[in-house]
């Protein structure tokens, strides 16, 4: 759907089964994009992205993963890292292993990279990631990374 500003984005994200949203913006990371990510957008891209990359990003988000423009990653980490807040009690619900996987995912490692590093199967990593997301009430890996930086866990 075509969204009319962040108000519409916020309204859609309150839905228990909201559509996946890819935020397009002219700037590397403006406040609107940061708010959209906090509120559950699954992707953040610059409007000048190559059409092939944009299509791949849409497919990636549709498949349940998340996408962030590479040029904005450092600023995203800096922005959310500066706003460190107390760690929610739900983080304490994670097992030690889930916390290890959380830390690796927060650093941006893929499931395959985590599996190789921790001597696990990719299916096991996916299971851990799913449980982590559920316990922390996060929608996807983008929100996991934001959560980690907001709370000083990365």
Predicted confidence at residue 74, as pLDDT, reads 58
Q: How many distinct structural domains can be found in the chain?
A: 2
Cut 0.85: pTM above it: no
Separation CA 107–CA 24 (nearest Å)? 24
> What pLDDT does 49 receive?
81
State residue 9's pLDDT score. 47
3-state secondary structure of 22: strand
Of 81, 103, 125, the one marking the end of a domain is 81
In three-state secondary structure terms, 99 is helix
**Which residues are CB-contacts of 6 (< 8 A; sequence separation ≥ 6)?**
32, 35, 36, 39
Q: Are 81 and 154 in contact (CB under 8 A)?
A: yes
DSSP character for 91?
G
- Residues 95, 77, single domain; the answer is no
For residue 71, give the CATH number of its domain. Answer: 3.40.50.2300
Q: What is the pLDDT of residue 28?
A: 61
From first CA to last CA, the distance across the chain in angstroms is 34
Domain that holds residue 109: 89-150
Instruction: Tell which of 34, 62, 81 closes a domain.
Output: 81
Residue ending a domain, choose from 61, 81, 101: 81
Report the pLDDT value the prediction gives residue 71, as an integer from 0 to 100: 64
How far is it, in rounded angstroms, from Cα 140 to Cα 142? 6
d(CA 146, CA 48): 24
56: Cα within 13 Å, side-chain hemisphere: 8
What's the pLDDT at 1? Answer: 43
Average pLDDT, consecutive stretches of 10 residues, N- to C-terminus, the chain (154 residues): 47 59 72 72 80 84 75 61 74 96 88 93 95 93 84 82
pLDDT score, position 93: 96
Look at residue 68 in the predicted model and tell me its pLDDT: 74
**Beta 22-25 vs 43-46: how paired, if at all?**
parallel
């Amino acid at each position: 759907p075509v969204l009319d500003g962040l108000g519409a984005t916020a309204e859609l994200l309150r839905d228990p089964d909201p559509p996946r949203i890819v935020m397009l913006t002219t700037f590397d990371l403006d406040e609107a994009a940061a708010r959209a990510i906090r509120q559950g957008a699954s992707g953040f891209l610059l409007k000048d992205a190559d059409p092939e990359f944009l299509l791949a990003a849409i497919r990636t988000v549709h498949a349940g993963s998340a996408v962030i423009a590479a040029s904005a990653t450092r600023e995203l980490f800096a922005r959310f890292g500066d706003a460190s807040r107390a760690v929610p009690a739900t983080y304490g619900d994670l097992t030690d292993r889930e916390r290890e996987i959380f830390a690796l995912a927060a650093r941006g490692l893929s499931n395959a990279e985590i599996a190789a590093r921790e001597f696990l199967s990719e299916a096991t990593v996916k299971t851990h990631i799913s449980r982590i997301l559920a316990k922390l009430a996060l929608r996807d890996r983008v929100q996991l990374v934001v959560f980690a930086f907001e709370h000083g866990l990365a």
